[in-house]
A = this chain, B = another copy of it.
Amino acid sequence: MIRWHALAWPSDSFQSNVKYQTKYFKQRLDHFSPADDRKFQQRYLISQKYWKKGSPIFFYTGNEGDITWFAKNTGFMWDIAPEFNAMLIFVEHRYYGKTLPFGKDSFKDKEHLAYLSSEQALADFAQFIVDFKAETHGTQNSSVIAFGGSYGGMLTAWLRIKYPNIVDGAIAASAPIWQLEGLTPCDRFSSIVTNTFKLAYPECPKNIRNSWKVIRKLGSTKSGRHTLSTTLKLCNPLKSPSDVDALVNWLSSIWVNLAEVDYPYPANFLEPLPAKPVKAVCASLQKPLANDTLLIRGIAKGLNVYFNHTGNSKCFNTDQDATSHLGIAGWNFQSCTEMVLPVCMDGVHDMFEPTPFNLTAMAAICKEQYGVRTRPFWAQTLYGGKRIKAASNIVFSNGNLDPWSGGGVLKSLSKSLVAIVIEGGAHHLDLRHANKDDPATVKHARKIEKMHIAKWIKEASNE
């Protein structure tokens, strides 16, 4: 069983227009308890460079990580701020980055983790906006447009759904709000990864699918593990079958992450990546590789592209995770409580080792780890699940290469609940800075998004 700990997010190259002030806001710890009045310091980033009095606020709903990372990697907001005279605000999600309600004790036990939930985070955003507008001259009549990608995109959509009085519209990029338990078949995710690899080279996913048996076969003997370790240039040689399990998980994560960041131009991930990395990785796997040795060598060559684009890596570390900028401690807890996003593999419709999703087993692990009961359906009660037609003013964008698009809103639900599918797009490509190598599809998506933003601002000013 694989539980995806956090959604991956690649780093954009540095852009000179991303300049902000860092500030802190005194936030309520528990919005929903009338008896608990404690506060904590919530970090936010702000840029008023393009802003004029009364003009809109573009508000990023921070996700599961350091907010500076998201500010730097949501170039779209910076790119379009000038033409809307928009103020930019990025608020960090509680329990991530520097926004730790109990400092280093924040993840100590369930008593300290009790205030980590998406609904508390949304209430943070709502309360922040209300207080910020009350205190900031010239913002009283400013419309507020929410932006977010990935889990942040889910929050952005939900912020508009639950607090339409606070935000006038929402750009929810690659927001898998329907990845929640029971709303989307769990194998959709892995079949999209597989398809993204197939689009690069049809033979590539076949080779990857075949690789698992070879890895398991070699992994079952000492000499085989030696062969794997040297061929794959692992920093820590495989010593036991459980090390082989770890290797399989690590490789699976890499293939998934690659599909997420399959951008048309070079980008930073854990390490710098070439343009169209799936194609680059699959180059050594584009032909049938029936021979075990050739197959593992092909995988090794692929890994070299992924981890060694700059040629600096001497070996690969299976402990190394591609999501080091994300707050694993917080997300582990969230995915154990209300953010249950089931992903499974069957090895037939996808290129992975068969890995069922077992909610009961997952809940047992969560119970043991945190002493909490998993609530897989609460988020649907709270945010509407598939029944969200009563909401309005949300653009849901998804790239067809992105595995998370399987749990996204891919068809418009009404005139003001608009779906955009970006052909050739990976994980929230549209939220990134404009790039000369952008496909026409993402340019078009951004155009539609801007059109809706302008419409929402106009409607809000007429109210």
Q: What residues make up the interface of A, taking CB atoms closer than 8 Å to B?
A: 30-37, 110-111, 113-117, 119-120, 123, 126-127, 130, 162-166, 333, 337-338, 370-373, 375, 377-378, 380-385, 387-393, 463
| A389→B35 CA distance, assembly (Å) | 31
Closest 6 pairs between A and B when the two form their complex, measured CB to CB: A164-B390, A34-B337, A35-B114, A165-B387, A165-B384, A35-B110
Q: Kindly report which residue of chain B lies nearest to residue A114, judged by CB atoms.
A: B35
What does DSSP make chain A's interface, helix, strand, loop or mixed? loop
Name the B residues within 8 Å of A390 (CB-CB). Answer: 164-165, 391-393
Known: A32-B119, A163-B384. 8 other contacts (CB 8 A): A31-B32, A32-B32, A34-B114, A34-B337, A34-B372, A35-B113, A163-B382, A164-B391
Name the B residues within 8 Å of A120 (CB-CB). Answer: 32
The reply to whether A372 and B116 form a contact with Cβ atoms under 8 Å apart is no
A95 CB → nearest B CB, Å: 11
* Sample (29) of A-B pairs whose CB atoms are under 8 Å apart: A31-B378, A32-B32, A32-B120, A34-B110, A34-B116, A34-B117, A34-B333, A34-B337, A34-B338, A34-B375, A35-B111, A35-B113, A35-B114, A35-B370, A36-B114, A37-B372, A37-B373, A123-B382, A126-B382, A130-B377, A164-B384, A164-B390, A164-B391, A165-B381, A165-B384, A165-B388, A166-B381, A390-B391, A390-B392
A382 CB → nearest B CB, Å: 8
Name the B residues within 8 Å of A31 (CB-CB). Answer: 32, 378
Name the B residues within 8 Å of A387 (CB-CB). Answer: 164-165, 463
A245 CB → nearest B CB, Å: 29
Name the B residues within 8 Å of A36 (CB-CB). Answer: 114
Name the B residues within 8 Å of A162 (CB-CB). Answer: 162
| A389→B127 CA distance, assembly (Å) | 20
The reply to whether A35 and B372 form a contact with Cβ atoms under 8 Å apart is yes
Name the B residues within 8 Å of A333 (CB-CB). Answer: 34
Name the B residues within 8 Å of A393 (CB-CB). Answer: 390
Name the B residues within 8 Å of A165 (CB-CB). Answer: 380-381, 383-385, 387-388, 390
